[in-house]
Amino acid sequence: MSEELFSELYADVLSDCPSDFEFSDSDSDDSDIRPSKRQRRILSDSEADSDEEWNDIDIVPSLEDYSRNSRVPNFECDPPSIVDVIDSFFDDEFFNLVVSQTNLYHTQMKDLHKNSAKTLQWKEVTTNDMKKFLGLLVLIGLLFCANKMF
């Protein structure tokens, strides 16, 4: 394709644009464009080298013995139930907070959605409901991981 054909194509496409998108030569003043003032820092060889030098001999660091107990729970049953896992990582204070905030959110939003079917059927969320919901999320995650493995 020749340059004339490209020019005609661009002119045709640009003619379809609304007139408020057109600009004059005064709009494209080069003085409005300012170059970036950010400078790159270049490290010299002396700055890049630290006081330590690479050695051919490995130095083994002295590590102290770890004396704390592990926070990973030890489950009695094998495999543990979802309820046991959830109860070991989340306490009642967490569930009470989530339940109270969920019910508060519903109270704040019900005036905006008075005629919604979900609003009319709403029941206060309980701690047990929230534990079941979190358990379902854990199970979905386990199923998703199992499906990816096979």
Cα distance between residue 15 and residue 21, in whole Å: 11
- The verdict on residue 51 lying in a domain is no
The whole domain housing 107 covers 82-114+123-148
Long-range contact pairs involving 80-88 (C-beta distance under 8 Å, separation at least 24) = 82/135, 82/138, 82/139, 83/131, 83/135, 85/138, 86/131, 86/134, 86/135, 86/138, 87/131
- The verdict on residue 131 lying in a domain is yes
- The verdict on residue 90 lying in a domain is yes
pLDDT of residue 142: 73
Task: Examine the pLDDT at 107 and tell me if it is beyond 60.
Answer: yes
pLDDT of residue 3: 67
Cα distance between residue 127 and residue 134, in whole Å: 11
pTM of the model: 0.45
- The verdict on residue 38 lying in a domain is no
Task: Examine the pLDDT at 122 and tell me if it is beyond 80.
Answer: yes
The domain tally of the chain equals 1
pLDDT of residue 125: 94
- The verdict on residue 36 lying in a domain is no
pLDDT of residue 114: 77
Q: Which residue has the higher pLDDT, 102 or 15?
A: 102
At 12-31, the pLDDT tens digits run: 655 655 555 555 555 555 55
- The verdict on residue 54 lying in a domain is no
Instruction: Rounding to the nearest 10 degrees, give the CA dihedral for residues 19, 23, 26, 27.
Output: 120
